[in-house]
Each structure stands twice: as structure tokens, then as C-alpha cells.
Chain A
Amino acid sequence: MTDWSESTRAAPVSLRRESLAAKALDRESLLRQLDWVLVGAVTALCVIGCALVWAATKPQGLGSSYLKKDVLNIVIGVGLAAVACLVDYRTLRAYTPVLYGASVVGLLVVLSPLGQTVNGAHSWIGLGGGFEIQPSEFAKIAVVLGIAMLLSEKREGRAEPTTQDIGLCFGVSFFPVLLILLQPDVGSIMVFGFIIFGMLALSGISGRWVAGMLVAAFLGILVIVHLHLLHHYQIARLQSFEHLDSKNNASAQGVGFNQAQARIAIGHGGVWGQGLGNGSQTNGQFVPEQQTDFIFSVAGEELGLVGAGLIVVLSGIVMWRALRIARLAEDRFGMLVGVGIVCWFGFQIFENVGMNLGIMPITGLPLPFVSYGGTSMFASMIAIGLLQNVRVRSVR
């Protein structure tokens, strides 16, 4: 705690001292410094996402209401990204404890009577008027910023993070992870695991630590399974993945049903797809959650190898640009934020597309920018804003 109060006093490394307002007015230079490849890839993913959300929700008799909400989410998300980009990330670093505290409070609220359960996970806070938010999405940003802050704090002049630093990182992660475990949301916990692991591994800690963490993760999984900390449906969903190749599972309305139907949809698409709005699997709503977690199956069926491949390539571009921004970051905080976001997106994209393709177990993770879902969109957009923020302030 004392560390954080010190951080507020730490002087920004940048020599530029323009006011926020002045920076905002200095459009030309800022715009020129943005990573336009990243902007382009995210924009393309959002456009494809909108089309798919429309195609996925139309057969449910919902008209274009989801499409409208999705567009609204994108607009709000772009606004949040702009804020995340404009505020100097080093300033942001000073407010990290506040953000962290807010996200923990948010996760606590979820567990209060205000929380709502969707698909077995008690992860939502209803805001009234049909709006709801998922605090665990924001917690991802908070944890990325928190760990980045901790690992960069005393780094200047030192070779590697101390054991104390690593302990603090786990401590910082402990509350959100515990609270999300209570929801429970296995997918998000796995994302957190990858964020922590990736950020620590790239912060320069020794190989011993990396190996130790891998072993700990493995033991942790064993303990979770053996102490029945997971609900039945979660284990079943994870197990169904193992049995996917036995065809019996595909026809049964059992746990493998989602994945089997998703694979059928994707396989049905072929190279060129059935055409937007023409997928029989999609129109028959054979794949559950086809506008959110399984939206990739809609892409596979209606847009084919061409469209689904494009999503994978665009997502790859997002990660590539993020990695590049992290690499070129002028300070460790910026680098670690970039790394954290790459780990977050990387795992989430691979897991989501992988479960659609039947090579990863099913978890409730959305595909960034493509899946329908406000909080996920906001959090992802803020992440993009942060990446641009780091980049803008790294480019000279």
C-alpha cells in the first residue's frame, strides 16, 4: 500500500509537460503517432462483429435490436479508448490503485443481491433498463495495470523483480481471482492466470520462477478438481472436450452438444460460406450462445474459410501490433501493460476460436471486438486505448 502512495509522487519520465487540454488540441501530432494498423484491424473486427451479431440474432426474432446495441457499445468503447489513450499512462499509473479498488468493489457487488446469473456464472451487475456490466472484464485491466505498476516500480536500476515483488503481484491478483472464483467464471480465471504468468515471465524473473509457476498451476488445477471447487457443469464442459472425437457425443444433446453443433456450422460453411444470413445452422439456432461465445461459428458457416480466416488474421494483427508496442515502449510500465494485454487477448482469442473449432475446452470467454457484449467491448477498447497511449508516448 505504501508503494502505491509513493508512486503518485514519482515524476513522469517524459519530458513533455503540456496540459491535457493542450495535448488534446494537438490533434495532428497525436493522430499521426497512433498505430493505424492496430486501429484498422480493430475497426475491421468490429464491422465484421456487427454483421455477425445481426446474423446471429435475426433468426431469434430480435430484429436489429442487438445490432443497434452492439453499435452503441462500440461507440461507447471508442470513447473509453480515447480517454484511455489521452490520459498519459504514467498519470494513469498513479490512479492504478483507485482503479484496482473500484474493480474489487465491482466484483464484490456481483456477489451481493445486485448480481445476476447468466449461464451458471454469477458474473453480472444489473444496471436496470436491460443494461448490465461484467466487472471481471474491468478487473482484467486493473490487474494488468496493477502488476505492471508493481513490477516496474522498483525496477529502475535493478536486475530482476524481488521475491517480494512477485509475492505482491500474487497478492494483487489474489482478491479479484478469489472473487471471480466465487462467481464462478473459470474462463476469466484462466485469463488472469495467463496475464500474471506472461507479465511475470517477461519481467525478467529467473527460469526457476517460471518453472515453479508452471508446477504450481498444475497442482492448483489438481486441487481445484479434487476439492470439488468446480461445479459439475464446468467439469463436464471441460471433459466433453476430451471426448469430442467420439461421434456419439455429437448427436447427443449432452455437454458436447454446443461444440459439436459449432463444428458442424463451421464445417458447413466451406471455403466461401453460406452467405451472411443464410446459414441453416445459425438460422436454426443449433449453436447456443451464437451471438456471444460462439459467434465464430456464425462466421465459419456464413462467411466460410475466407471470413473466419480473416477474423483469425485480424486478431493476429492486433496481437502483433500490441507486441510491437510493448517492445517499443519507452519504460517498463508501458512494456508490461502491453505484455499484459497481449497475454489477455492472446489467450482469449485462442481459447474462444479454439473452442469453436473443437480444439479447446468450452469456457465462457467472448471473442474480443466480435462477440456481442458491452463490458467485454468496453474493456477491450480501453485496452486498445492503453496500447495507443503507450505507443503515442513512445514514438519520438
Chain B
Amino acid sequence: MLVVSLVATLLGRLWYLQVLAAPQFRAAAELNNVKDVVTEAPRGEILDDAGRPLVNNKPALVVSVDRIALSRQPQQGKLVLQRLSHVLQVPYTKLNDETTPCVYVKTRHVHNGKVTTTVGVKVNPCWSGSPYEPVPVSQLRPTLAATRRALVIQEMSEDFPGVTVALSAVRHYPKPDGALASAMLGYIGPISSTALAQLSPQQQQIERNTQVGLTGLEASYEKYLHGKPGVKQVSVDHVGAVTGVLKNTLPTPGDDIVTNIDAKAQADLEKQLQNAINTARHSGFSADYAAGVVLNVRTGGVVAMASDPTYPPSAFVPSISGKEYTKLKNEKGSPLVDKAFESAAAPGSTFKPISSSGLIKDGTMSINGAYDCPQNFQNRHNFDGEAGLGFIPLRTALIVSCDTFFFALGNTDWNRDSALVRAHKKPREGVQRMAHAYGYGEPVGLDLPSGEVATGHIADRANTLLNWKANKANYCAGAARRPKGSYLQQIDADNCKFGYIFLPGDQMNEDVGQGTVTVSPLQEAVAYAAIANGGTVFEPRIAKAILSPTGKVIKRIKPQVRGHLPLPKADLDYIRNAMYGVTTSQSPPGTAVSAFAGFPMNKVLIGGKTGTAELSGTSQNGSWFGSFGGPAGGKPQFVTVIEVNKSNQGAISAAPFVRNVWDDLYGFGGNKPAFPNGVPPTKLPTIRVQSAAHSHKSSGTAGSTPPATSSPASPGTSTGALGMPPALGVRFEQREPRA
């Protein structure tokens, strides 16, 4: 009886384990035995319009720690880690923490009877990747010092069991012609937990230690650049030693992005922005920053875009230190913000072509009329106290940039709208509507993460009220707190009481690009391109096409048209012609004539508009010059805009450097032209492909044979400072557990 019951007990338990609970144990056994070893895919390159890489990959020696090998050593390999910490000059505890696999702890919360479970990381600095992958510990920065340290470890490998020195790929910036393009390119970093959470559980396993684009083109074209990591499924035994390869999928390299950027134009623009700052500072101005854009008016392609001061694009490789980041963040001119597209400022008189369009459109003004340009209008004097010119046509007003001309028209505009409002009708607000049509106060549609692109602001009655409601408390608090009678206190007190009213002065200020109008240089470039090309407002594009690593076209990025200006052709032609007068007219004297003195207008005709915006709290100006130009007698090809913050008038601090950019673009003054025929290439660059390039396509159960490590070498791909043959994989990073 006893025997029967004992046997029955054992058989019952056996039945439970092997039949009832079998699926659970089958899964557990698989989890035990099958491990994924991820091989990062080489990231795609970002090329300029001629195929010169702005970003590619460079081999670097990476020191990695194999935790499983260490675990088999006495004291879990403490001695080796200590030796390593000495060579790498990293504290032992940091090294140990960073190489210890993260412990994920499930926490249950009970809230109002609902149970939620969150998964957190127990020890904070820890290795989030697979414990079966070696943990990279050395700085990936391909510097001489890092390389030297890696070589020391490699030479004394018997002192470093479980430590490997392997070749890996890091982001590299060849800077063709010296072009940086830092903000546009962006940088990569470890995938965020939120981005990871959006992937399938299987993908999460594969990608949890991957690097992804965090900003700029690296982020917006992430899905093309990233490639597909290779996954080697290995069976492992109880100590993690590999016993066999079950499946081996080789990595698929990321696609390359060809941009509209021309490295030479980009480098020239960056150089001219520095010149502008240096020149203004030489004259005693603060010149905190300068920003500029060169746009292809026919496609909306971004030929060059820059901001100065800036940072080297390699600042984030492999990661930026907190100290360095804080320094860049607090530096004068805040280099981390690209003022060409990430921030907006008052454009000054460069807004007048836009306000003119609006005033014409809503009938306040006509191109055939003449309007007064007095010295003062309602206590507002003309720019720099210039004398009145009497009744003049719009053309003259634009060429000489008469402010009172626009003040008076703005006042008329406001009175008419005010009457409409009193009659409970909708105000026309023609200037505001036209500004939105030009793309001001609207999302730009640039192919960068939208959070990085400024929309600017166009004040009108509705949003003034909304803003006042949102900020009233601040204004009133400021009015009470600030020293009574001070400038800022008076503004706050005024805003506190009357901030909801869109005053006639607001409209007048707006029409000359002051006050509550803010735009980014990129937005101005898009607007000027519309004036130049006959009214087409583009969504600008940095990228032009996506190419496979073998050079096949995956996708062409077509110009995107946002809309067309609601302005008759004759009116737009009139405004454009007036703007040619700004650079060429002797009488009336164009504000930018002196800046373009000696420029071969008979070859390339440039039109534009100067802008000098008053800045609050300083007597220095926001200095702007927006321009378009192309072969004389033909259609405009490019737009160039430069803004120089805290400097002299637009005609002095911005226009000359815009002119220099034009010189550089067309190769005047002994320069090499950016484009041989003055037109950006429409054909895509051809990428040289090595014969071995196709080998990466093969995949399958390759067993222990190493995957192909050669790759298509793009123009400019070097064999690396370390003298490695290209076959060692500029593009491949191979990580394998050691048996």
C-alpha cells in the first residue's frame, strides 16, 4: 500500500511537470539554451550632392569585457578588471558597474484597487545589453590615446583574460572642404527606453543596446540609416559557452542619404558667418551669433545652412561628457541651438516684401499708387531719423526702406479692421494672412525632427488675446516686482492691463518686421524663394535621395510644395523687381548697393532686402539680409539669407557677407564655383562599389565561417588612421562571445 502511494505520488508529479506544465518548461529550456548574439549593422552614410561623405564610419579599436569569461575566474575576474581600470584610467567601481548586466525588477503598484506592474532597473549604471555579448568599455573615440591604450591591452593579452580588443565602427566626419553641418547632421546615441518600448519584444531583445539617431538627419532618416542588425542564434551550455550555431543572419548595412547640401557652399557659408561675427565684433558689436541659409529656389533643396558659433559634429562621439555639454549649452551664442532653423527672431525690414504683398492683397495699397513717406508718423520717426521723401511708389519705399511709408499704411489697415471688429465682423488682417501664406508662423516642413524646427510667430488679434490670457499673471507679477518706473516695469504694467489689445502700433511694427514678428532665417529663405520663383512656397528638403549601400536608388526625395502665394503675378513681379533695385539702384539709392559694389550683376543678378531689427534691452540690432539671384537675364536659382545678431545695420553687418556667399557660389573673386554650371546637380552621385560588396547579401547558416566584412567603400572612405585594410570593416562591427 505504502509502495503504491509513493509510486503514485511520484508519477502524479511527473505527470504535472511533463504534461500539464510542459509548455512553461519548454519555454524556460529554450530561454536557457538559445541566445541571440547581435552584430550591429554598419550605419548608412550621409553624403553631399556630389557624393562626398559628411558622415561615414571609421574603424576604432574597442576594448570589451566578456563577463562570462570573467565569471569563471577567481573573484569573478576582479583582478583583471582592476588591471583594466588602471590602463583605461577608469575607476574600478565604474568599470565593474558598467559591465554588470542590469537586474530588471518588476514592481507591483496597487492604486485604487488596480494593480500595475512596472519594470525598472535595479542598479543604475549597468550593462543593458545581453550578458552573452562582450561589453564595450573603452571610449570609442578614435583618438591616438585611446588606440594606444587598446594596443597595450592587446599586447599583454595574457594579463587580460576575458578582455578583447576588436575593431569596431564609429561615426566619423570627414568635413569635405571643411564643412561641418553639425546641427543638420545631428548625432547618434543609445536608443531611449521609450523608443525601445515601441518595438516588438523580439526586436527589443535585438535592439536594446543599439545606437540610433537622436537629432538632425541621423534621427529623421533613422529607418534608412540604421540597417538591420545581424542575429546569430547560438546554443549555449550552463556556463554560457557556445555549443553551436543555430541560425546566422548577417547584418544588412544601412542605406546612404544623399543630400542637397553642397559641401563647398556649406563650408563657404560657415566661413562667411564667422567673418560676419568677427567683423561686427571688430567694430565693437557683441555679435552673439550669425546664421545663414542657401536654398535652391526651384526645388526647395537646402544647399547650405549654418549657424555660428557651432560645435564639431564629433562632439557627441561616442558620447558627450556632462561637463562638455554644460559648457556648450552656456557658451555665448548657445552653439547647441542652430539659429538658422531652430530659433526665430524679428526680421526687421526684410519682412517688408511680405507686408507689401499683404497690403496689396487686401487693397490697402496698389502698385500703381504713391504713398507718403514722412519723417515722422504719429511720433514714430523714420529709420535713423531719415528725412521724409514725400509721396513715393512702393518700389522706392522698398529700395530705400522707408518705415513711415509702412507705418501709415499699417495704421490705415488697423483702422479698417478695427471698424470691422466694432461691427462684429471678422478683421481682414491681410498682412498676417499673407505672412502665413509665405510660411511664417507655420511649421516649416523641413525634413528634420519637427521639434527642432522653429515656427516663428505672426501676431494678430486672436493670438494676442490668447497670449495675454496665458501670460497675464507673469506680466502683472513683473509689474509689481520690478523697480517702479523702470523700463521693464512699465512694459509689464502696460501688458498686465492692456496686453490683450492688438494696438495700431502693433500692426505698424509688424509691417516693418519689428515687435511680434519672429521668423527663422530658413523661413525667410523659403519666403524669398517664393518671391524669386513666381510664388511657389516649398517645404525645404535637406535630403535628396536614399541610396542602397551598393548605390541603387531606393527613394528620391521629391520637392514638396506647401502652396502658392495668393498674389497676382504682376504684383509679385513688381515686388521682385523692386528688390533688384535694393542692390542695384543708384537713384533712389538702394540700401544694399554699397555691399554689392563691384559685383558682376551682368553675369549674376542679385535682388534682396536689408533688415535691421531693434532688439529689446540693447541698442545693437538684429542685422538681416535676404537675397535671391541667378544668371542675369534668366530665372533666379538660389536664395541666400544671413542674420547677424547684435550688430550694426543689415546693410553693413549682413549684406556684405551675403554678397561673399554669392561670390563663392558663382566663383567670383578668384574662387572656385560651388557648381560648375551654376546649377546644383539634378543627377545623383555615383557611388563606387567594390566587387566584394555583394557578399554581405548572402546569409544563412554560415556556421563558424566569419561573415563578409568588406563593404562598399564610398568615395572618401579611408583605410583609417590605424592602417587597417578596408576589409577589416569600416562598416561592420563584429561581436561574438568567446567559447
A residues with CB within 8 A of B: 59, 250, 261, 263-271, 280-281, 283-286, 288, 300, 304-305, 308-309, 312-313, 315-316, 319-320, 323, 346, 349-350, 353-354, 357-359
Q: How far is the CA of A309 from the CA of B18 in the complex (A)?
A: 10
Given A305-B15, A316-B3: A283 in contact with B26 (beta carbons within 8 A): no
Q: B29, A353: Cβ atoms under 8 Å?
A: no
Chain A residues with Cβ under 8 A from B18's Cβ? 266-267, 269-271, 300, 304-305, 308
8-64 of chain B: CB within 8 A of chain A: 9-11, 13-15, 17-19, 21-22, 24-26, 28-30, 32-33
Q: Is the interface of B mostly helix, strand, loop or mixed?
A: helix
Q: B10, A350: Cβ atoms under 8 Å?
A: yes
* Distance (whole angstroms) from the CB of B67 to the closest CB of chain A: 13
Contact check: which of B6, B13, B29, B236 meets A268 at CB < 8 Å? Answer: B29
* Distance (whole angstroms) from the CB of A369 to the closest CB of chain B: 16
Contact check: which of A261, A288, A309, A319 meets B3 at CB < 8 Å? Answer: A319
Contact check: which of B6, B14, B32 meets A286 at CB < 8 Å? Answer: B32
Interface size bracket, B side: 20 to 34
Given A264-B32, A266-B25: A316 in contact with B6 (beta carbons within 8 A): yes
664-678 of chain B: CB within 8 A of chain A: none
Q: How far is the CA of A267 from the CA of B3 in the complex (A)?
A: 25
Chain B residues with Cβ under 8 A from A271's Cβ? 18-19, 22
Q: How far is the CA of A250 from the CA of B21 in the complex (A)?
A: 15
Q: How far is the CA of A350 from the CA of B13 in the complex (A)?
A: 12
What are 17 pairs between A and B in contact, CB < 8 Å?
A266-B17, A266-B18, A266-B25, A267-B24, A267-B28, A268-B25, A268-B29, A281-B33, A284-B235, A308-B14, A316-B7, A350-B10, A353-B10, A354-B13, A357-B10, A358-B13, A358-B17
B494 at the binding interface (Cβ < 8 Å): no
* Distance (whole angstroms) from the CB of B384 to the closest CB of chain A: 77
B736 at the binding interface (Cβ < 8 Å): no
* Distance (whole angstroms) from the CB of B172 to the closest CB of chain A: 41
B570 at the binding interface (Cβ < 8 Å): no
B177 at the binding interface (Cβ < 8 Å): no
Given A312-B7, A316-B7, A357-B17: A284 in contact with B24 (beta carbons within 8 A): no
Q: A284, B236: Cβ atoms under 8 Å?
A: yes
Contact check: which of B2, B7, B22, B238 meets A285 at CB < 8 Å? Answer: B238
* Distance (whole angstroms) from the CB of A105 to the closest CB of chain B: 34
Which of B21, B28, B30 is packed against the most chain A CB atoms within 10 Å?
B28
* Number of A-B pairs, beta carbon distance below 8 Å: 108
B470 at the binding interface (Cβ < 8 Å): no
Contact check: which of B2, B4, B17, B238 meets A267 at CB < 8 Å? Answer: B17
B73 at the binding interface (Cβ < 8 Å): no
Chain B residues with Cβ under 8 A from A308's Cβ? 14, 18
Chain A residues with Cβ under 8 A from B28's Cβ? 250, 264, 267-268
Q: 12 extra interchain contacts, Cβ-Cβ under 8 A, other than A280-B33, A281-B32?
A: A265-B29, A266-B14, A269-B18, A271-B18, A283-B237, A286-B33, A300-B17, A305-B15, A305-B18, A308-B14, A357-B10, A357-B14
Q: How far is the CA of A358 from the CA of B21 in the complex (A)?
A: 13
Q: How far is the CA of A281 from the CA of B17 in the complex (A)?
A: 15
Q: How far is the CA of A59 from the CA of B33 in the complex (A)?
A: 14
Q: How far is the CA of A300 from the CA of B18 in the complex (A)?
A: 8
Contact with A along B499-538 (1 / 0, CB 8 A): 0000000000000000000000000000000000000000
Chain B residues with Cβ under 8 A from A263's Cβ? 17, 25
B243 at the binding interface (Cβ < 8 Å): yes
Q: How far is the CA of A288 from the CA of B239 in the complex (A)?
A: 11
Chain A residues with Cβ under 8 A from B33's Cβ? 280-281, 284, 286
Q: How far is the CA of A233 from the CA of B238 in the complex (A)?
A: 21
Q: A280, B25: Cβ atoms under 8 Å?
A: no
Q: How far is the CA of A311 from the CA of B179 in the complex (A)?
A: 77
Chain B residues with Cβ under 8 A from A305's Cβ? 14-15, 18-19
Chain B residues with Cβ under 8 A from A309's Cβ? 11, 14
Q: B22, A267: Cβ atoms under 8 Å?
A: yes
B residues with CB within 8 A of A: 2-4, 6-7, 9-11, 13-15, 17-19, 21-22, 24-26, 28-30, 32-33, 235-238, 243
* Distance (whole angstroms) from the CB of B520 to the closest CB of chain A: 53
Given A308-B14, A316-B6, A350-B6: A267 in contact with B21 (beta carbons within 8 A): yes
Chain A residues with Cβ under 8 A from B11's Cβ? 309, 312-313
Q: B243, A354: Cβ atoms under 8 Å?
A: no
Chain B residues with Cβ under 8 A from A346's Cβ? 2-3, 6
Chain B residues with Cβ under 8 A from A323's Cβ? 3
* Distance (whole angstroms) from the CB of B178 to the closest CB of chain A: 55
Q: How far is the CA of A357 from the CA of B464 in the complex (A)?
A: 76
Chain A residues with Cβ under 8 A from B237's Cβ? 59, 283-286
Q: How far is the CA of A269 from the CA of B18 in the complex (A)?
A: 6
Q: B14, A267: Cβ atoms under 8 Å?
A: no
* Distance (whole angstroms) from the CB of B730 to the closest CB of chain A: 37
Contact check: which of B3, B9, B13, B238 meets A284 at CB < 8 Å? Answer: B238
Given A268-B26, A316-B3, A320-B3: A284 in contact with B32 (beta carbons within 8 A): yes
Q: How far is the CA of A269 from the CA of B119 in the complex (A)?
A: 32
* Distance (whole angstroms) from the CB of A356 to the closest CB of chain B: 9
Which 10 residue pairs are nearest across A and B when measured between Cβ atoms?
A267-B25, A316-B7, A268-B29, A284-B237, A305-B18, A280-B33, A357-B13, A286-B238, A319-B3, A264-B28
Chain A residues with Cβ under 8 A from B7's Cβ? 312-313, 315-316
Chain B residues with Cβ under 8 A from A304's Cβ? 18
Q: How far is the CA of A312 from the CA of B13 in the complex (A)?
A: 11
Chain B residues with Cβ under 8 A from A353's Cβ? 10
Contact check: which of A250, A270, A315 meets B22 at CB < 8 Å? Answer: A270
* Distance (whole angstroms) from the CB of A191 to the closest CB of chain B: 15
Q: How far is the CA of A309 from the CA of B7 in the complex (A)?
A: 9
Chain A residues with Cβ under 8 A from B4's Cβ? 316
Q: How far is the CA of A300 from the CA of B25 in the complex (A)?
A: 12
Q: A281, B29: Cβ atoms under 8 Å?
A: yes
* Distance (whole angstroms) from the CB of A58 to the closest CB of chain B: 12
Which of B3, B28, B243 is packed against the most chain A CB atoms within 10 Å?
B3
Cβ-closest chain B residue relative to A60: B237
Given A280-B235, A285-B237: A312 in contact with B14 (beta carbons within 8 A): yes
Chain A residues with Cβ under 8 A from B15's Cβ? 305
Q: How far is the CA of A267 from the CA of B6 in the complex (A)?
A: 20
Chain A residues with Cβ under 8 A from B238's Cβ? 261, 284-286, 288
Cβ-closest chain B residue relative to A321: B3
Which of B7, B17, B29, B235 is packed against the most chain A CB atoms within 10 Å?
B17
Cβ-closest chain A residue relative to B244: A283
Q: How far is the CA of A354 from the CA of B18 in the complex (A)?
A: 14
Q: How far is the CA of A281 from the CA of B32 in the complex (A)?
A: 8
Q: How far is the CA of A357 from the CA of B9 in the complex (A)?
A: 11
Q: How far is the CA of A304 from the CA of B19 in the complex (A)?
A: 10
* Distance (whole angstroms) from the CB of B234 to the closest CB of chain A: 11
Given A281-B33, A284-B238: A359 in contact with B22 (beta carbons within 8 A): no
Q: B14, A264: Cβ atoms under 8 Å?
A: no
Chain B residues with Cβ under 8 A from A350's Cβ? 6, 9-10
* Distance (whole angstroms) from the CB of B697 to the closest CB of chain A: 32
Q: How far is the CA of A359 from the CA of B10 in the complex (A)?
A: 9
Given A264-B25, A267-B26, A280-B32: A300 in contact with B3 (beta carbons within 8 A): no
Cβ-closest chain A residue relative to B71: A253
* Distance (whole angstroms) from the CB of B478 to the closest CB of chain A: 57
Chain A residues with Cβ under 8 A from B25's Cβ? 263-264, 266-268
* Distance (whole angstroms) from the CB of B238 to the closest CB of chain A: 5
Chain B residues with Cβ under 8 A from A268's Cβ? 22, 25-26, 28-29
Q: How far is the CA of A284 from the CA of B19 in the complex (A)?
A: 23
Chain B residues with Cβ under 8 A from A349's Cβ? 6
Cβ-closest chain B residue relative to A260: B28
Q: A284, B17: Cβ atoms under 8 Å?
A: no
Cβ-closest chain B residue relative to A306: B18
